Structure 1
């Protein structure tokens, strides 16, 4: 997972969501009624999907696993738990069909104080709760929130670690090739290279590489040449554009 910046919506869409939310508040519906109204708002859902796709990592990848294209709007706090948030823009995230229907579903674990134990990448930096071990592609928890996030979203489910590990080796090889060809001295070419890498599935791998470059042991994992390049301010700005 990577941190995401939630943009402001166009006034007409924001107004539409606000109107629908007020109607739900007045009706005080249960989850079934709210879901029916959500499913009936086809044009609203289509507009939201477009904005979520632009907000997502890569080319509209799932905001949870980062592997597959996002095709569904997930209600981070499920409609069954919070019917009044069905049209709340701050409650919408882009998910692939597997993460939405087979992993997260209606799960929303909380601690004894009611605090949600899942990372919302549009409100939190996942790095505060999750650590991606680049060599294995597995996520490891840094907190109770991280542990529940890994479990609920199935971040270490079959094939995902293997895909991330492969993505790491490919990205490192591409960066080394760019350095060998002298692309590091050609800012525009390097920018194109980094943007291309960021648009591939598992964008979280590239973010983790930049983060790892600042940590002890980075040379052993990334190589001295890649570490030096990833620590350059211009590279950080390209990988962390927000």
Structure 2
């Protein structure tokens, strides 16, 4: 998971979302609001294309799931489930892009809360996942830094899905190669090629790996985190390379 910035919706879509929310709020009981929200969302064809377009623009990589970062984002997930808070069914700030597995296969109706009733899952448009999760790069596994981080690991199976773990390990190797290639072509003055390397690197699945690499290279314990991989750390600390890659982030 990586930090994401929410974009603005077209005004006509915002107007429709507000209209549907008012229809839900007008219902006399909580159960009636839930039923109305469910029925309205089932017939959401008028707003779905605009929502998906905006979420895809925000998504990590090229239209990747905002939770696992690997699979194609195909579903509009309600971060706070609509069965729990029907009035947020058409709340743009409650919509995230998810793959079908993270949405239906993992999260479903699960929405863990802490003792004070606050969400334990991390909404990457509101919180920086780096504050809650640390990726052990050579292993491709996450360590929880907070209860919120642990909830994300558990609910989305971030460490229990072998395809994710292996994918992150491979992405680490691929990212190192991209950094080397960027340095090589930049030194030769091939700046268009360098920009293409950056574009492709950020469009790949599992960009949480490259985000973690740059983040950890600034950590006080960076030498320990990259023990045995000093060449990677040297590249990540190269000011010109950092500017070239992070200006695209």
TM-score by length of 1: 0.92
Aligned partner of 2:233 in structure 1 is: 227
CA distance in 2, matches of 1:236, 1:174: 15
Matched position secondary structure for 1:27 = coil
Residue 153 of structure 2 corresponds to 150
CA contact (8 A) 1:137 1:165 kept: yes
> For the residues of structure 1 that align with 2:24 and 2:120, how far apart are their CA atoms?
26
The alpha carbon displacement at 1:32 in A equals 3.4
2:119 is the alignment partner of 1:116: yes
Structure 1 residues 181 and 11 mapped into 2: Cα distance closer, same or farther (>3 Å)? closer
* Residues matched between the structures, number: 241
In 2, Cα distance between the equivalents of 1:183 and 1:9? 41
SS at match of 1:107: coil
Indicate yes or no: 2:157 matched with 1:179.
no
**Mapped partners of 1:172, 1:109: distance in 2:** 36
1:220 counterpart SS class:
coil
TM-score (norm: length of structure 2):
0.89
Aligned with 2:24: secondary structure?
helix
Contact 1:198/1:239, CA 8 A, preserved across alignment: no
Q: Work out whether residues 213 and 222 of structure 1, in 8 Å CA contact, stay in contact via their aligned partners in 2.
A: no
Q: 1:105 to 1:240 in 2, by over 3 A?
A: farther
For the residue of structure 2 that corresponds to 1:121, the secondary structure is: coil
Q: CA RMSD in A?
A: 2.0
Identify which range, 187-196 or 129-138, moves more after superposition: 187-196
Runs of 5+ unmatched residues, structure 2: none
The change in CA–CA distance for 1:188 and 1:228 in structure 2 (over 3 A counts) is farther
Q: Which residue of 1 aligns with 2:207?
A: 203
- Is this contact kept in 2: 1:139–1:150, CA < 8 A? yes
**TM-superposition CA deviations, 1:75-98 (whole Å, max 9, x none):** 000011001110000000000010
**Is the Cα–Cα contact under 8 Å of residues 183 and 190 in structure 1 kept in the other structure?**
no
Which segments of 5 or more consecutive residues in structure 1 lack a partner in the other structure?
A: none
Shift of 1:202: 0.3
Which residue in the other structure is 1:27 paired with? 27
Greater CA deviation, 62-71 or 24-33? 24-33
SS in 2 for 1:37: helix
d(CA) in 1 for partners of 2:174 and 2:128? Answer: 25
Partner of 2:210, secondary structure, is: helix
- C-alpha displacement of 1:181: 4.4
Contact 1:30 1:80 (C-alpha < 8 Å) held by counterparts: no
